Amino acid sequence: MMNQYETVFILTPVLSDVQMKETVEKFKNLLIANGAEIVNEENWGLKKMAYPIEKKSTGFYSLLEFKAEPTVVEKLEIGYRRDERVIRFITVKLDKFAAQYAEKRRNKNKEA
């Protein structure tokens, strides 16, 4: 049974644009290698955080929406913890209402 998930992770602001894209690509490839289907990817860019983390007040925010088996999330989060470029992450399972909302948001973003 494949569930729909959304993961947001914050990368350290000291990365160059290329390094940031490589890191996002690494996690996308990790998902695909484990049988996940990427539904949506959004790069929110460099944003100010609500509070400093590791003495950094900004970070590169990235969102990945995917469908996968529950075991894949565990592998993804282990990957986040092992990568020193990731300073925070959260992965949530979307229920049917959240999935509908995410789809509406995606369609709205495509129109804009």
Q: Which residues of 59-93 are buried (b: 16+ CB within 10 A; e: fewer)?
A: bbbbebbbbbeeebbeebbebbeebebbbebebee
Confidence of residue 107 (pLDDT cuts 50, 70, 90): confident
- For 20-43, give the DSSP string: HHHHHHHHHHHHHHTT-EEEEEEE
Confidence of residue 112 (pLDDT cuts 50, 70, 90): low
- Going from N- to C-terminal start, the domains of the chain cover 3-111
Hey, what long-range contacts does 19-27 have (CB within 8 A, 24 or more apart)? 19/85, 20/60, 23/83, 23/85, 23/86, 24/62, 24/64, 26/79, 26/83, 27/64, 27/76, 27/79, 27/80
Question: Mean pLDDT over residues 89-112, rounded?
Answer: 88
> In the chain, what percentage of residues exceed pLDDT 90?
84
Confidence at residue 106, expressed as pLDDT on a 0 to 100 scale: 85
Give this prediction's pTM.
0.89
Confidence at residue 88, expressed as pLDDT on a 0 to 100 scale: 96
What CATH number is given for 3-111 in this structure?
A: 3.30.70.60
